[in-house]
Amino acid sequence: MTNESALKIQKEIVPYLSPALQTKMRALDERSYGTLEEIRLRVNQPVVLNMGERGVTLDDKGALSGDFKRGYIVNKEDLKRMVASISENSYYAYEEDIKKGFITLPGGHRVGLAGQVVCRQNEIGMMKNISSLCFRIAREKKGCAENLLPYVEREESIANVLVVSPPRCGKTTILRDLTRLLAGGKEGQAAKNIVIVDERSELAGCYGGTPQLDVGGHTDVLDACPKAAGMMMALRSLAPQIIVTDEIGRDEDAAAVQECLNAGVKVISSFHAASFDEVKRRLLTKRMLAAEAFQVGILLSRRNGPGTIQEIVRWD
């Protein structure tokens, strides 16, 4: 990881931490920043840094340690300061984001929140007494999807693609780069008009409605928009050639995908599963495959790090 990238994380993530944690995090070397995926902070528990396949803590001197008994214990004041920081000292201005369980920071990084959930008429009304935070580092890996283009691009069209992956295997990063490549075009292949329906603000990493990550010059983003509703909005008003969305999982998502295909719009999406056999067994995707909704499946793993292309299949 370059010094520039390390400085980017120090600039975009570290300032939101409490003063005690800022001091410790700034002592990390570039290699540590390079493998850092998450910072987990739970009140009265040691700070946890997830770095690739291992989780470590920071001791009182700011050194990495696998002995969690030596880890810096996050206290209520730390959490209070950090919640105030990520919400720009206006908790109520971010109330809708907090209800969804996350806040997106400049740079596209996302902070997950947990605490006391207050329900009203079986719906989440608010979250209060925040007891833990999870800072997830947003990273762009430009070019990571280039090897997939021969499977995705057809002569004058694009295949409908389902990216299959267990958690933390890089599916969002692959989807983002694939979108960037298709929306950028190349010699002999015109740029495609793409709409991202970004329900969880991960694909484009929007902050204030503006993408913080490169999703290509011909891409529109419906940020924080439910997938099924967003796909219908895109069809009605944005004339996409391709719709990209992350993690289909509900019947209404599947119905919206079918509507897109009926309208001649291609769909690139993802699904949580550990294998193609699992995809074929799940009722939702089993029905979609039977309806020939997707033509190409891409399976990811962490075998050689996040984003490892494990297998590619054609379903057409």
The residue ranges of every structural domain in the chain are: 3-136, 146-314
From residue 54, give the alpha-carbon distance in Å to each of 48, 50, 76, 92, 108: 10, 6, 26, 36, 24
8 Å CB contact between 169 and 300? yes
CB of 95 closer than 8 Å to CB of 102: no
Q: What is the rounded CA–CA span in Å between residue 215 and residue 233?
A: 19
Q: What is the spatial distance between Cα 166 and Cα 179, in angstroms, rounded to a whole number? A: 20
Nearest to 247 by CA among 270, 229, 215, 213: 270
Fold of 146-314: Rossmann fold (3.40.50)
Q: How far apart are alpha carbons 261 and 256 in whole angstroms?
A: 9
Average pLDDT on 90-107 reads 90
Question: pLDDT at position 4, please?
Answer: 67
- Count of beta carbons in the 10 Å neighbourhood of residue 113: 22
Tens digit of pLDDT for each residue in 27-67? 888 888 888 999 999 999 999 999 988 899 999 888 999 99
Whether residue 123 is predicted with pLDDT greater than 90 in this model: the reply is no
Q: pLDDT tens-digit profile of 241-287?
A: 999 999 999 999 999 999 999 999 999 999 999 999 999 999 999 99
pTM for the whole thing?
A: 0.88
Q: Does domain 3-136 match CATH 3.30.450?
A: yes
Residues 111 and 105 sit within 8 Å (Cβ to Cβ): yes
179/91: higher pLDDT = 179
What whole-number percentage of the chain has pLDDT above 70? 98
Over the stretch 218-232, which tens digit does the pLDDT of each residue have? 999 999 999 999 999
